[in-house]
């Protein structure tokens, strides 16, 4: 951690930094476990010019205000510096942890809005996530998620034009065959994979790195299966709170996962683009 960053953390926290250790996961900037002179442990994220860390701080605060899911406390949020409480962790996702996650996310999804989107744009990882209020979920998912991220992946050279044309055709002709309008818009965490789930003693200690907006909650559930984060115990418990509509595992899960796959295509390219193309070929 640079001397300037140490001074900034100290000013934000009100105590001198005596130790800073690098942590993994710096998608937007560098991440540090900070020990203060008064004994407190914090997490500090630093970014260079043009940083967007204040958006992450906003999203964590927004989730905290729902009183439904545990998240780190935000001590300070600015474009170049985010300071949060340190969350003690122990153990991995277990059956009981998955059930607790289902309880928490079902409660989070009870937070509703009058339309799909959000009061401001947010981020998914380092990428801009547009959230204009939209009355139709199908329209929002098509324009602000699939076509928006598909275009970004195409412009980056990570997605073949042939696949993008296939995506456009799917959105125009087939999307509303598989996706229907939900009962209501639900607040979602938005980036629900194992790396963003902190566990302790068979419980969820915190969810981190959100990408919030109001959506069909099934898109959250779909994302949680993409990298094997949650399994049968989670879905059985979640189904007790919100019964899943028929067709989720057969079709909608893969269609909703086009969005995170397009995000990963834009960031990393490679086999993610092939997965996108495979889903479009299957359903298009």
CATH of the domain at 72: 3.30.200.20
User: Would residue 127 count as lying in a domain?
Assistant: yes
pLDDT at 25 exceeding the cut of 90: no
Given 85, 109, 142, the domain boundary residue is 85
Domain shared by 235 and 160, yes or no: yes
Q: What is the pLDDT of residue 69?
A: 98
pLDDT tens digit string along 116-153? Answer: 999 999 999 999 999 999 999 999 999 999 999 999 99
Given pLDDT bands bounded at 50, 70 and 90, which one contains residue 26?
low
If one counts the domains in the chain, the total is 2
Domain-embedded: residue 260: yes
Q: Which has the closest alpha carbon to 43: 9, 14, 11?
A: 9
The reply to whether 90 falls in a domain is no
Would the pLDDT of 284 be above 90? no
User: Has residue 31 been placed in a domain?
Assistant: yes
Is the predicted pLDDT of residue 215 greater than 90, yes or no? yes
For residues 234-263, average pLDDT: 97
pLDDT at position 147 is 98
For residue 62, the model assigns a pLDDT of 98
Measured CA to CA, the distance from residue 4 to residue 17 in angstroms comes to 11
Domain-located, residue 25 = yes
Separation CA 244–CA 97 (nearest Å): 20
Domain boundary among 66, 85, 104: 85
Same domain, 107 and 206: yes
If asked whether residues 224 and 120 sit together in one domain, one would say yes
Residue 245 lies in a domain: yes
Which CATH number do you get for residue 208? 3.90.1200.10
Same domain (yes/no): 148, 37: no
Q: Is the residue at 267 inside a domain?
A: yes
- Whether residue 143 is found in the same domain as residue 15: no
Looking only at the bridges linking them, the beta strands covering 127-129 and 186-188 are: unpaired
Burial class (CB in 10 A: 0-12, 13-18, 19+), 155: exposed
> Can you give the residue range of the structural domain that contains 194?
95-283
Tell me how far apart the alpha carbons of residues 21 and 77 are, in angstroms, rounded to a whole number: 20
Q: Is the same domain home to 61 and 147?
A: no
Domain check: are 63 and 198 in the same one? no
Provide the strand spans (E) within 126-196: 127-129, 186-188
27, pLDDT greater than 90: no
| pLDDT tops 90 at residue 263 | yes
Residues 119 and 148 in one domain: yes
Q: Are residues 37 and 155 in the same domain?
A: no
Boundary residue ending a domain (31, 54, 85): 85
Both 105 and 230 in a single domain? yes
Instruction: List pLDDT tens digits, range 73-115.
Output: 999 999 999 999 999 998 888 999 999 999 999 999 999 999 9
Residues 107 and 187 grouped into a single domain: yes
User: Would you say the C-alpha torsion 31, 33, 34, 38 has a positive or negative sign?
Assistant: positive
Q: Identify whether residues 37 and 150 lie together within a single domain.
A: no
Give the angle 138-146-223 at the CA atoms, nearest 5°: 90
């Amino acid at each position: 951690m640079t001397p300037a960053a140490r001074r900034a953390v100290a000013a934000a926290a009100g105590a001198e930094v005596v130790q800073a250790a690098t942590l993994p996961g710096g998608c937007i900037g560098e991440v540090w476990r900070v020990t203060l002179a008064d004994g407190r442990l914090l997490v500090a994220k630093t970014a260079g010019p043009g940083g967007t860390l204040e958006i992450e701080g906003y999203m964590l605060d927004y989730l905290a205000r729902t009183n439904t899911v545990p998240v780190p406390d935000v001590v300070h949020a600015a474009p170049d510096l985010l300071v949060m409480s340190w969350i003690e962790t122990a153990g991995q996702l277990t059956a009981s942890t998955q059930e607790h996650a289902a309880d928490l996310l079902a409660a989070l999804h009870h937070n509703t809005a009058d339309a799909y989107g959000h009061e401001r744009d947010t981020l998914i990882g380092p990428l801009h996530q547009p959230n204009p209020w939209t009355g139709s979920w199908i329209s929002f998912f098509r324009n602000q998620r699939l076509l928006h991220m598909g275009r970004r992946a195409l412009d980056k050279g990570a997605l073949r034009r042939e696949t993008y044309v296939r995506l456009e055709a799917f959105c125009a002709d087939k999307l509303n065959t598989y996706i229907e309008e939900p009962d209501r818009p639900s607040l979602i965490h938005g980036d629900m994979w194992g790396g963003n789930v902190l566990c302790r003693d068979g419980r969820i200690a915190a969810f981190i790195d959100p990408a919030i907006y109001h959506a069909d909650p099934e898109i959250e559930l779909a994302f949680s299966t993409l990298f094997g984060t949650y399994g049968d115990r989670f879905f059985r418990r979640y189904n007790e709170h919100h019964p899943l509509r028929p067709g989720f595992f057969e079709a909608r899960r893969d269609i909703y996962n086009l969005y995170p796959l397009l995000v990963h295509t834009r960031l990393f390219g490679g086999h993610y683009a092939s997965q996108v193309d495979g889903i479009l070929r299957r359903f298009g």
